[in-house]
Structure 1
Amino acid sequence: MTRYDLTDFEWRVIKPLLPNKPRGVPRVDDRRVLNGIFWVLRSGGPWRDLPARYGPRTTCYNRFVRWRKAGVWDRLMDAVTAAHDGDIQMIDSTSVRAHQQATTAKRGADHCLGRSRGGLTTKIHVVVDAQGLPIRLGLTAGQTHDGQIADKLLDRLGPHTIVLADKAYDADRIRELIQNKGATPNIPPKSNRRWKPFFCKRLYRERNLIERFFSKLKHFRRIATRYDKLAANFLAMVQLASMWLWLRANESTA
């Protein structure tokens, strides 16, 4: 087993969540295929360089795409994050530079690519819990303002949750969205605000957890640089990296 492979603990968590196939030709070993997908995710290597121990690269790639289309990665993400700590949630984004091969997709669809200071980039938007573990994910083009996707990512807030965010989210619309869920925004007000809402600096310092999450996320080289042409495939990679961080955190406390 290499350092990129699933541990026995991680496999025991994931295995019951995978699709069942009671009939037909037996599926190629799921654990081996997942290890191959995680090798690409962690190493950043192209699919064609997948080591032979993981089997045919086409099997790993096709399984990755087929399960993405079938919503398997979405369901795994929901299952793994179901036990999140909802007392405090934090929202923020980080930009990722797109590799040249990621910019060659067919035109017409929204591939979440846009020009910003770093050239062609994609912005990853994340909500993390009180432990700094991700619970909601989203993608936009690199030049998109953070607040434009906040409605989608904050639509599952529970009552009494405190939401930490920076000044980019200081908009009446976002504050009302949070309060309508029974939650409390703790967002520093912009300097041009006439009315200054309550803001706790001490609690705001906890936002370092989301910055630490972004640092861990970019240890996955397939995330630190975007190689995927399709936004859906890149988001699936972000989901897999997020699940891995959840599993590693749970394994360390098991």
Structure 2
Amino acid sequence: MTPARHTFTDAQWQRIEPLMPPCKGRPGGAHRTFFDALLWMARTGAAWRDLPEQLGKWNVVYQRYAYWCGKGHFERFFQGVQQPDLEEVMVDSTCCRAHQSSAGARKTSGPQAIGITRGGLNTKIHAVCDALGNPLRFVLTPGQRHDSKPVPELLDGLQAKALLADKAYDSDTIVQSAQAQGMQVIIPSRVNRKKQRVLDRHRYKARHLVENLFQRMKVFRRVATRFDKLDVTFLGFVHIAGTMKWLH
């Protein structure tokens, strides 16, 4: 029997079940058992072969998971449970160590988003969250990629009133992009910027919420350490962790 924290509660399932694609040739409860299996994998960080038998055959679950990742289902579930507070949004990133088993994918299999830094193989998760610290979007890059590069993609189309970020994000591209979307920019100016912006320090204090988000995300061991070879399957677990943040 799997622990309660490794399975969906009835209340959580009621929120996500309407987003499920139709069951094709499977009994109606198959989706929930499948999701319990993925939640168990995400929380424990175990190898697929160690999946408890009551949650399904590991290879069947894995093949279905990889197929759904390719279809973008987990991003759709993640977006479907959101009820964001867009008074302000915050961006930041965190590095995740990539286990040696995540390396070695064929180039023809798809992008990996794995880089090499002094700490070894790693992947960087870039995120934007709402005013309450709930995740809105994720982007993966190799670990050596600069934090500011994915920000235009993270912010594209967001109708927020303000953008909070640390000094690493003080670039003309980010500032102009945010202002073009009607956001107040609350980012400390770099010392070499000729015209220093006035910083709303009271509102800037809320930026810790995006850092707290990453701490909660890394409770899921399959997010804290990357075991997946392809970025699409790793991002699937990131979206599952983000979905659980909203469901809590």
- TM-score > 0.5, shorter chain as reference: yes
Query: In 1, distance between residues paired with 2:111 and 2:62?
Result: 22
**Which position in structure 2 is the counterpart of 1:8?**
10
**Which position in structure 1 is the counterpart of 2:186?**
186
Query: In 1, distance between residues paired with 2:72 and 2:97?
Result: 26
**Which position in structure 1 is the counterpart of 2:227?**
227
Deviation at 1:24, TM superposition (A): 4.4
**Which position in structure 1 is the counterpart of 2:37?**
36
Query: In 2, distance between residues paired with 1:123 and 1:31?
Result: 30
**Which position in structure 2 is the counterpart of 1:112?**
113
**Which position in structure 2 is the counterpart of 1:245?**
245
Gaps of at least 5 residues in structure 1 are 249-254
- AA aligned opposite 1:67: W
2:150 partner SS: helix
With over 3 angstroms needed to count, the CA separation of the structure-2 counterparts of 1:73 and 1:170, relative to structure 1, is same
Deviation at 1:75, TM superposition (A): 1.3
Deviation at 1:36, TM superposition (A): 0.6
Query: In 2, distance between residues paired with 1:55 and 1:155?
Result: 39
**Which position in structure 2 is the counterpart of 1:17?**
19
2:121 partner SS: strand
- AA aligned opposite 2:10: D
TM-score by length of 2: 0.95
**Which position in structure 1 is the counterpart of 2:129?**
128
1:147 partner SS: coil
Deviation at 1:59, TM superposition (A): 2.2
Query: In 2, distance between residues paired with 1:6 and 1:62?
Result: 21
Q: Is the 8 A contact 1:67 1:73 kept in 2?
A: yes
Gaps of at least 5 residues in structure 2 are none
| Identity level (%) | 40
Q: How does 1:139-178 map to 2 (within 5 A)?
A: 139-158=140-159, 161-178=161-178
Deviation at 1:107, TM superposition (A): 3.1
Q: How does 1:52-71 map to 2 (within 5 A)?
A: 52-71=53-72
Greater CA drift, 24-33 or 107-116? 24-33
Greater CA drift, 66-75 or 104-113? 104-113
1:123 partner SS: strand
Greater CA drift, 61-70 or 209-218? 61-70
Query: In 2, distance between residues paired with 1:177 and 1:8?
Result: 42
Residues 38-87 of structure 1, C-alpha deviation per residue, up to 9 Å, x if partnerless? 10000000110001110211221122111112221121111112x10000
Deviation at 1:200, TM superposition (A): 1.2
Deviation at 1:119, TM superposition (A): 1.1
2:148 partner SS: helix
Deviation at 1:26, TM superposition (A): 4.4
Residues 125-145 of structure 1, C-alpha deviation per residue, up to 9 Å, x if partnerless? 000111111001100000000
Q: Which runs of 4+ in 1 moved over 4 A?
A: 23-28
The RMSD of aligned alpha carbons is: 1.4
Query: In 2, distance between residues paired with 1:218 and 1:71?
Result: 22
With over 3 angstroms needed to count, the CA separation of the structure-2 counterparts of 1:25 and 1:110, relative to structure 1, is closer
